[in-house]
Structure 1
């Protein structure tokens, strides 16, 4: 993740918060702790991440998934075969749960195949929140009322929890996209949603991430990026595909 000089205040504030949280005397004392304590290193990483999302974000890509991408993917699959979809960063779960909800509601073939959805994030606290699956009004605001009633428990203390069956339809893992062993451990996928992550990387990290995404896709697999991102400027290992609902990238 790249933070330019104009974002230095953000870094300073987060580090100061961790210095206080660990009762360190000063930065030197905290840095020594950081080097020896992997749990604190993860806590610092968690403090830098941005977990701002909501259900059915960039809905046009979900339409593209059910109308165009998956029909192409399953041409080479038989009924009962496994289809793997990866969502990273998954934040607090809204992204991969949205995929599960959308397919249940909008893809008639969802029960014909073994759909496996994996949500991954570098922020372990976000992953823990995703496993709990409890969301407030803002995160749920784009969902149709019937979807809310069908797949969420009644509201308690201002939040609604996803039903257990839906929780069990998504697997969550902690993953660092620029760390190859971390990515390889997830296996290969037919479709990857990696939205609004590469914009936070420097050029070298973006190229490394692109190589890892390419490796994580099955041959002919599809990659969905955020609407402001373009793989064409990062790597020539993907073919740009224009569908009616969205522009996506296919592994060459």
Structure 2
């Protein structure tokens, strides 16, 4: 008599039609468009969530995803599908431009003691907003004369939690001068450093979907926006809507910094190109100016 054998576990599959259906849904929710070249990446993560939720097929999972009330599973997917790789002082020439030129223009239109707002999106795990804070403290001569707010946002709640925890690998802090590392970090091990809690308290982290007007509407009176290497994941329509959302968030004369491979001029005619010695950035025109 043969022993009974356990039934083979059949892994869920994602058909071409499933992929297209999911891609359209995810695009509507996030503005992120997956090219066909990302098919393996998307399928792998979808299968992970199908199995994790105990669904027996893509169809069952997708129906539950579309009709869930609290959006919790969609957030799990967003956290899986977004790529977050960064490090301190990445593309630091734009931070040089911030402290050498952009902020000097910003304060010409402000009274001493008034508020300056800088928005970093996406925050990823916090390296960018903390780099901005260190640059301001160390290299901007007017830091004591104004109330500076650093806001930082991401659609991925996992990376926001990591940013607020503030623990970084040796690779992440490799570009920091040693005296900054000693001053603003506590060494936990050979490969881990924890950022000062004072710096954590200096940044206001929040979950924001740049493609959702309800999320971006609360961001106003911003003077400088760092939005680097995000728009490359959007299609033309989502990029234009993101550019308009940032335009609405900015004060007149405010600046936007994009990643080195991104160009606002190919996205929107709302902004003027500004070429400073350290970097090229984009500016919301002042009243009476033309972009």
* TM-score bracket for this pair, using the shorter chain length: over 0.9
The match for 1:94 is: 127
Per-residue deviation, 1:156: 3.6
Which of 16, 33, 39 in structure 1 is aligned with 2:47? 16
Per-residue deviation, 1:199: 0.9
SS class of match (1:221): strand
For residues 6-36 of structure 1, give each alpha carbon's deviation from its aligned partner in whole angstroms, at most 9, with x where no partner exists: 1111110110111122122111221122123
Which of 191, 209, 213 in structure 2 is aligned with 1:158? 191
Query: What's the RMSD between the two structures over aligned residues?
Result: 1.0
- Check the 8 A contact 2:220/2:251 in 1, yes or no: no
Per-residue deviation, 1:237: 0.5
Q: Which residues in structure 2 correspond to 1:193-232 (within 5 Å)? A: 193-232=226-265
Per-residue deviation, 1:178: 1.0
For residues 111-149 of structure 1, give each alpha carbon's deviation from its aligned partner in whole angstroms, at most 9, with x where no partner exists: 111010001000011111111111001110100110011
1:117 aligns with 2:150: yes
Instruction: Report the structure number with the largest CA radius of gyration.
Output: 2
CA distance in structure 2 between the aligned counterparts of 1:40 and 1:187, rounded to whole angstroms: 30
CA distance in structure 2 between the aligned counterparts of 1:46 and 1:102, rounded to whole angstroms: 29
The match for 1:137 is: 170
Q: Give the structure-2-normalised TM-score.
A: 0.85
The match for 1:36 is: 67
The match for 2:218 is: 185
Question: Gaps (5+ residues) in structure 1?
Answer: none
The match for 1:84 is: 117
For residues 18-72 of structure 1, give each alpha carbon's deviation from its aligned partner in whole angstroms, at most 9, with x where no partner exists: 1122122111221122123310011011111010000000000000000000000
Which stretch shows the higher mean deviation, 187-196 or 236-245?
A: 187-196
Which stretch shows the higher mean deviation, 25-34 or 8-17?
A: 25-34
- Check the 8 A contact 2:170/2:190 in 1, yes or no: no
CA distance in structure 2 between the aligned counterparts of 1:15 and 1:185, rounded to whole angstroms: 32
Per-residue deviation, 1:157: 7.0
CA distance in structure 2 between the aligned counterparts of 1:233 and 1:164, rounded to whole angstroms: 40
